[in-house]
């Protein structure tokens, strides 16, 4: 299985994403029922919420 991780841009300053890699490697959490090998093919932030740029 190929997996791409898209993380929240607002949390990138304090969340390096290392737990994502650990959970995939150990097949825990949402990955625990996956029997096949997991290949990480991408790791990127979302680019920011478009709603934050809206005029109030």
Domain that residue 31 falls in: 2-47
Does 53 map to a domain?
A: no
- Region of residue 27 (phi > 0: left; psi between -120 and 50: alpha; otherwise: beta): left
Does 55 map to a domain?
A: no
pTM exceeding 0.85? no
**Which one is predicted more confidently, 56 or 29?**
29
Does 8 map to a domain?
A: yes
Q: How many domains, in total, are found in the chain?
A: 1
Whether 6 and 41 have beta carbons less than 8 Å apart is answered as no
Does 24 map to a domain?
A: yes
- 17-33 residue pLDDT tens: 899 999 999 999 999 99
Whether 56 and 21 have beta carbons less than 8 Å apart is answered as no
pLDDT mean over 22-50: 92
Q: How far apart are the first and last CA of the chain?
A: 42
């Amino acid at each position: 299985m190929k997996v791409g991780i898209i993380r929240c841009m607002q949390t990138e300053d304090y969340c390096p994403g290392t737990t994502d890699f650990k959970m995939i490697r150990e097949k825990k959490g949402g990955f625990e029922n996956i029997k096949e090998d997991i290949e990480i093919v991408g790791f990127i932030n979302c680019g920011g919420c478009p709603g934050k740029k809206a005029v109030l």
